[in-house]
Structure 1
């Protein structure tokens, strides 16, 4: 029996599913007694350090948690659940941690994108049972802006490099903590969880630990999901956002089955973009909720869900906030949520008022779950101009002239699936969303969507230079070389594709094999 401490924030379903996949039974701690009497305790943490500790105190979980940690029984803290073991965090300077390990949690100070998102390696510093059976050169999934600084070197289990070495796992007796997410680290993560759970433990140290770890470029499979004309939920794909062919919605497969296939093929993440409103459903009956629940049972890489993350009122007259919608998605298996059209409207209001409201979906969700959980999906198209002087928007000198030979363009943001252009450019939108608390940009391109001509390098560079958060390049991939091109010519951390994967024109494994001698990838 594995007891899971769920303090009410984040995606615990994936942790439960991973443990149950290993044949174990999970009991969610509902009281202080459940914590004190646990045989083995797993504590996954998400979001703000201060929010987590405040909730633990409100639920009166701190004292029973300290009692358990003092008992010598096995404990595994994941992400912020590991950070809680330390004395405090500069994310919330006034809040005390559990203080089981000496040291504090610091924000990354690197000339790299923050949050640190993606698959990175580990350098094991001492023998442990946790990595028994692993080579040592595997990659694990990270998503965080803060990292632990341990005062006692004897507690440091692994280091990972991101601008500089940081503590990525700790151990003190039977107390273990990982900054990475084993439940989102594929077969490697499942093996690690199995090592934590099993009774017979072989202490070892992997043979192939790298001298320095490197963050991999991510290859992301995207599934546009909507109801077809018969009401069935299908994966479709647009041609410059038009998903109909001969009058019917293109049907490229079932979302849960396709997501499972991409996990097996080596996708580093899976993104669901809900392109049907589903506004009339009570929240608990939203079709995408069930898709997430079913997918997370067998897909152990990060899942992002986009579409419908907004305030809405269902057919029964019940009103929901965007935060409540996000809550339900996270509880159903999502690791990140993506905000699209509503982000444009939020930024327009932000630019008009000149100040943050604290009430927007971006601000509220990032406050509760952390900025790494909020992705902004931008849908821009080119607007050509003869000179930068004729517009107030940020322009680029383009190598792709306009229809009248124009040498300059700006990237107009759109809403409503690309049907309506707005008076805000993609660079301003991305920068503003970062200021409001977003942690990642999913950068689409209407002009390249479905063309197989490659990514819009000029657009990606313009946005990437304006933000310090990771950028996912999207739209236009038609062959393996296009992925190499975007990583060679931009600093994008990830590249996303849909149709070429759905139709098996370019398998994910083929992309990674093509890239393996050109950029760092997870094989």
Structure 2
């Protein structure tokens, strides 16, 4: 019996789907006694250390889980599932872990690199392993802000390390107890193979295996991510389609542009090598997101076929339904996570939350960003920023963060600031992108998606001035979007601003103008790390 330890937070549907893809069946652990009856346990980790441990305690799982692990029975921990094996974590001071492995989980250093560590990185085996062996160039998907490090007291547990500023533990194993910091269920074919080896019990080493799967000593590197974005809405016939706007206008000759079906396109992009898939929900259900069963079904069915991270944005916020029942943003997000989303993207509501924060001068826990991050972790919250240029003749004309620009305004202005907008770019606010980015990071966001109203659909390349401004303002990962028209634009972005972690595009992929493979080939040719 393969048992899933689902403590009620995060996207465990991906683990279920990955196991099903491999031809195995999962049984849910629903009571403490189920733990000791299990033949194999998978503990998938999504969320925050403190809330995860509190939930395990509440469910009465901690003592039987310790007993199961002490008996050296088959166990696979994923992300928080690995971190929970240690004595504690900086993420939740004073909260005890399971204490199976000596040591404390520490926060990654935000001074040299973006935190969370988000994206595709390699692993470096510290001892021979057939279970975890991969090709030297293989990448696996990581998303975390905290990690354990090798010490004299835990070195006999360490199976693999990964480099991000400094080495951290990316896999442990002693006997049949194993855990990984990365997400195999989100790591494509490589991750599925690692899961298969655990599920089938493969792992005994022959002498030939010891030569083939010997440890590799080379450093690992984080790859630049290429993300495919699908704007999804109802067309005039009521069908869900992928569309693309021209300066945010999705109609052409009076009809909604129909560039394909969302599930089919997502599958295509996964097969073509997209590192992530983002769905932007622009349907009529935005005002009542839990009634949007078609979009929830898109997520469910996509996650059965696509084993890279899925982000969903559009209308995920607190609301009151027609019957007068209030739903918090956390409740809404939870339904989307359960349906297959790995990350939630927040747009207009982030602007309103930032304005309220600046008026108050402090956090009060009321924003969707704070609520979702507290339960699911910062890495689960993406802020989608939709700015437009406002030109001025001199920085003295505005109180907002202003930059000199190489793209003069309509009257020859050589300075501009970037105004935040809401309602799909239709309404400007008295807030600039630096204010928004910094406040959202303070509230708990783990990633920023930088769109550009001025560049959207232009195929002139990314707005490097905008992206550099935001990249310098925050320590969390940044995704560049809007304006890509050819593979060289991606190279230009990562060369000019090498600290940007990812780039997103939509129309050029939908219309087959630029294949994802062509982008990655161009990047590799220029010496830029990709998956």
Same fold by TM-score greater than 0.5: yes
In structure 2, how many angstroms separate the alpha carbons of the residues matched to 1:293 and 1:320?
A: 21
Q: Conserved in 1, the CA contact under 8 Å of 2:124 and 2:215?
A: no
The answer to whether residue 455 in structure 2 is matched with residue 453 in structure 1 is no
Q: Conserved in 2, the CA contact under 8 Å of 1:279 and 1:313?
A: no
Q: Conserved in 2, the CA contact under 8 Å of 1:487 and 1:519?
A: no
Deviation at residue 315 of structure 1 after TM alignment? 3.2
Matched position secondary structure for 2:156:
helix
Q: Which residue of 2 aligns with 1:231?
A: 238
> Cα–Cα, structure 1 residues 497 and 419, in superposed 2: closer, same or farther, change >3 Å?
same
Matched position secondary structure for 1:486:
helix
In structure 1, how many angstroms separate the alpha carbons of the residues matched to 2:291 and 2:55?
A: 24
Q: Conserved in 1, the CA contact under 8 Å of 2:89 and 2:95?
A: yes
The answer to whether residue 302 in structure 2 is matched with residue 295 in structure 1 is yes
- Measured against aligned partners, the alpha-carbon deviations of 1:63-103 in whole angstroms (never above 9, x if no partner) come to 11112112222100000110000011111121111011111
Q: Which residue of 1 aligns with 2:362?
A: 355
Match of 1:159 among 153, 157, 161: 161
Q: Which residue of 2 aligns with 1:121?
A: 122
Q: Which residue of 2 aligns with 1:25?
A: 25
In structure 1, how many angstroms separate the alpha carbons of the residues matched to 2:79 and 2:94?
A: 20
Q: Which residue of 1 aligns with 2:318?
A: 311
Q: Which residue of 1 aligns with 2:97?
A: 97
Q: Conserved in 1, the CA contact under 8 Å of 2:272 and 2:516?
A: yes
In structure 2, how many angstroms separate the alpha carbons of the residues matched to 1:207 and 1:378?
A: 46
- Measured against aligned partners, the alpha-carbon deviations of 1:266-310 in whole angstroms (never above 9, x if no partner) come to 000000011124046572653221111000001000000001111
Please give the residue correspondences for 1:423-438 in structure 2 after superposition, counting only pairs within 5 Å: 423-438=430-445
In structure 1, how many angstroms separate the alpha carbons of the residues matched to 2:528 and 2:302?
A: 27
Deviation at residue 128 of structure 1 after TM alignment? 2.2
Name the TM-score, length of structure 2 as normaliser: 0.96
Q: Which residue of 1 aligns with 2:5?
A: 5
Matched position secondary structure for 1:327:
helix
In structure 2, how many angstroms separate the alpha carbons of the residues matched to 1:388 and 1:456?
A: 20
In structure 2, how many angstroms separate the alpha carbons of the residues matched to 1:413 and 1:157?
A: 46
Return 5+ residue gaps in structure 1 as ranges.
none
Q: Which deviates further from its counterpart, 164-173 or 314-323?
A: 314-323
Matched position secondary structure for 2:149:
strand
> Cα–Cα, structure 1 residues 284 and 208, in superposed 2: closer, same or farther, change >3 Å?
farther
Match of 1:510 among 496, 511, 518: 518
- Measured against aligned partners, the alpha-carbon deviations of 1:24-74 in whole angstroms (never above 9, x if no partner) come to 001111111211100000001122111111110000000111121122221
In structure 2, how many angstroms separate the alpha carbons of the residues matched to 1:217 and 1:235?
A: 25
In structure 2, how many angstroms separate the alpha carbons of the residues matched to 1:225 and 1:236?
A: 6
Q: Conserved in 1, the CA contact under 8 Å of 2:289 and 2:316?
A: no
Q: Which residue of 2 aligns with 1:324?
A: 331
The answer to whether residue 222 in structure 2 is matched with residue 215 in structure 1 is yes
Q: Which deviates further from its counterpart, 443-452 or 272-281?
A: 272-281
Please give the residue correspondences for 1:23-102 in structure 2 after superposition, counting only pairs within 5 Å: 23-102=23-102
Deviation at residue 396 of structure 1 after TM alignment? 0.8
Q: Conserved in 1, the CA contact under 8 Å of 2:125 and 2:215?
A: no
In structure 2, how many angstroms separate the alpha carbons of the residues matched to 1:102 and 1:194?
A: 28
Q: Which residue of 2 aligns with 1:107?
A: 107
Match of 2:184 among 182, 185, 204: 182
Return 5+ residue gaps in structure 2 as ranges.
none
Q: Conserved in 1, the CA contact under 8 Å of 2:234 and 2:284?
A: no
Q: Conserved in 1, the CA contact under 8 Å of 2:87 and 2:96?
A: yes
Q: Which residue of 1 aligns with 2:146?
A: 146
The total of aligned residue pairs comes to 522
Q: Conserved in 1, the CA contact under 8 Å of 2:4 and 2:26?
A: yes
In structure 1, how many angstroms separate the alpha carbons of the residues matched to 2:369 and 2:387?
A: 19
- Measured against aligned partners, the alpha-carbon deviations of 1:176-233 in whole angstroms (never above 9, x if no partner) come to 0100000000000000001111134343463583510000000000001111111111
Q: Conserved in 2, the CA contact under 8 Å of 1:119 and 1:216?
A: yes
In structure 1, how many angstroms separate the alpha carbons of the residues matched to 2:332 and 2:413?
A: 44
> Cα–Cα, structure 1 residues 463 and 282, in superposed 2: closer, same or farther, change >3 Å?
closer
In structure 1, how many angstroms separate the alpha carbons of the residues matched to 2:38 and 2:326?
A: 39
Please give the residue correspondences for 1:338-377 in structure 2 after superposition, counting only pairs within 5 Å: 338-377=345-384
Q: Conserved in 2, the CA contact under 8 Å of 1:124 and 1:136?
A: no
The answer to whether residue 505 in structure 2 is matched with residue 497 in structure 1 is yes
In structure 2, how many angstroms separate the alpha carbons of the residues matched to 1:255 and 1:160?
A: 34
Q: Which residue of 1 aligns with 2:260?
A: 253
Deviation at residue 317 of structure 1 after TM alignment? 3.4
Deviation at residue 316 of structure 1 after TM alignment? 3.8
In structure 2, how many angstroms separate the alpha carbons of the residues matched to 1:273 and 1:24?
A: 32
In structure 1, how many angstroms separate the alpha carbons of the residues matched to 2:49 and 2:177?
A: 19
- Measured against aligned partners, the alpha-carbon deviations of 1:233-270 in whole angstroms (never above 9, x if no partner) come to 11000011111111111010111110000000000000
In structure 2, how many angstroms separate the alpha carbons of the residues matched to 1:326 and 1:305?
A: 10
In structure 2, how many angstroms separate the alpha carbons of the residues matched to 1:427 and 1:519?
A: 31
